[in-house]
Amino acid sequence: MNAPLDWLLAGEPWIAYRTRLDLLGETDRHPAVDLTRHAMLEDGLVAGLVAELSDWPGTVISSHKSAGQSFHKLNFLADLGLTQNDPGMRTIVERILAHQSAEGPFQLPMNIPAHFGGSGQDEWAWALCDAPLQVYALVKMGLGGEPAVCKSLAYLAGLVRENGWPCAVSKELGKFRGPGRKEDPCPFANLAMLKALSVHPDWRDAPASHTGAETLLTLWTESVERHPYMFFMGNDFRKLKAPFIWYDLLHVLDVLTQFTWLRTDARLLDMAALLRSKMDSQGCFTIESVWTAWKDWEFGQKKVPSRWLTLCAWRILDRLESA
């Protein structure tokens, strides 16, 4: 079975653009790539997202899992291929860089109630379930060599333990941490950190990356018995979702397959086999769980196959085939 390329290229310009780059291997110098990129930047939904994020960071965080959070939307723009040089993006980047903590991670406005260990006040802070995702987007957008970005990534990477990254937050959030044992690794923190490290050449093969990857793959093999910080790898985890927001099968596979040294790991191949089993006879994939904040997008429905989801799935499978 091959990827349904003609069908993907007939989709929205942002899907056609990524298909040409990621599945066909074309470069930005190719006339068709240039054409679809311009069409992507003019697409109403894409342009609307850029305009919305110009008010970065938006509302105070109430839940990191909320699919409408600004940092999740920023990651999606980065995944599409927008850079700091595209219209409207420099404003967003400058607003992010303006709020860097003394330690290094970039901050967002949060409010943690006192009964959860916080102050109950709005304040600028960071957590391991948001700070790495801001770094990921900045690196993807062309700021991987920026000293502030390098400082942030180095500090966050340094929080790794023998069993991966824990639930960690900035001093402004007091004693707050997620619902779990403090000696356990936080599955989403590990996913977010690996995502950031995977796109930076200085960190892609670092010991911290190997430690985090081993943590996630071990959790997969022990998914029945272990659920640290109440992150499960059961039925909901295995449903196909887009875009990449939280801790689920497609998101974990997309991050782990970025590491070339992992692509023959039997545990990773086991996860990929589950993904492949969800392919239809045309090589397409259908969304199994919708993020309502994205209901206006092509992948915001479960009735027919999604081009974006299909593209994401085939990128993963192609990486493994290349191994």
What is the model's pLDDT at position 116?
61
Share of the chain above pLDDT 90, in %: 88
What is the model's pLDDT at position 62?
74
Residue whose structure tokens are 């993963």 = 316
**Per-residue pLDDT for 313 more than 70?**
yes
Residues linked to residue 106 through DSSP beta bridges, in sequence order: 100
What is the model's pLDDT at position 310?
98
Residue whose structure tokens are 């039925």 = 235
What is the model's pLDDT at position 174?
78
In the chain, where do the E strands start and end? 108-110, 123-125
**Do the Cβ atoms of 278 and 250 come closer than 8 Å?**
no
Q: What is the rounded distance in angstroms from the CA atom of residue 91 to the CA atom of residue 87?
A: 9
How is residue 55 annotated by DSSP? Answer: T
What is the model's pLDDT at position 119?
66
Residue-wise pLDDT for 64-87, tens only, equals 889 999 999 999 999 999 999 999
Per the structure, the count of domains in the chain is 1
How is residue 177 annotated by DSSP? Answer: -
Q: What is the mean pLDDT of residues 11-31?
A: 97
Q: What is the rounded distance in angstroms from the CA atom of residue 192 to the CA atom of residue 131?
A: 8
What is the model's pLDDT at position 179?
82
What is the model's pLDDT at position 68?
93
Residue 147 identity (one-letter amino acid):
P
Question: What is the phi/psi pair of residue 13, to 5°?
Answer: -60, -35
Question: What is the phi/psi pair of residue 106, to 5°?
Answer: -80, 145
**Per-residue pLDDT for 117 more than 70?**
no
Q: What is the rounded distance in angstroms from the CA atom of residue 271 to the CA atom of residue 221?
A: 10
**Do the Cβ atoms of 271 and 252 come closer than 8 Å?**
yes
- Greatest alpha-carbon pair distance for the chain in Å reads 57
How is residue 115 annotated by DSSP? Answer: G
Residue 281 identity (one-letter amino acid):
S
Residue-wise pLDDT for 92-108, tens only, equals 999 999 999 999 999 99
Q: What is the mean pLDDT of residues 100-119?
A: 83
Give the chain's mean pLDDT. Answer: 95
- Higher-confidence residue: 288 or 1? 288
**Per-residue pLDDT for 121 more than 90?**
no
Side-chain half-sphere exposure of 8, counting CA atoms within 13 A: 27
Which domain CATH number covers 297?
1.50.10
Share of the chain above pLDDT 70, in %: 98
Residue-wise pLDDT for 245-296, tens only, equals 999 999 999 999 999 999 999 999 999 999 999 999 999 999 999 999 999 9
Q: What is the mean pLDDT of residues 144-168?
A: 97
- Domain that includes residue 24, residue range: 5-322
- Per-residue confidence at 229, pLDDT binned at 50, 70, 90? confident
Residue 203 identity (one-letter amino acid):
W
Q: What is the rounded distance in angstroms from the CA atom of residue 14 to the CA atom of residue 22?
A: 12
Is the four-CA dihedral 111, 114, 119, 120 of positive or negative sign? Answer: positive
**Omega before residue 87 within 30° of 0, cis:** no
**Per-residue pLDDT for 317 more than 80?**
yes
Q: What is the mean pLDDT of residues 172-194?
A: 90
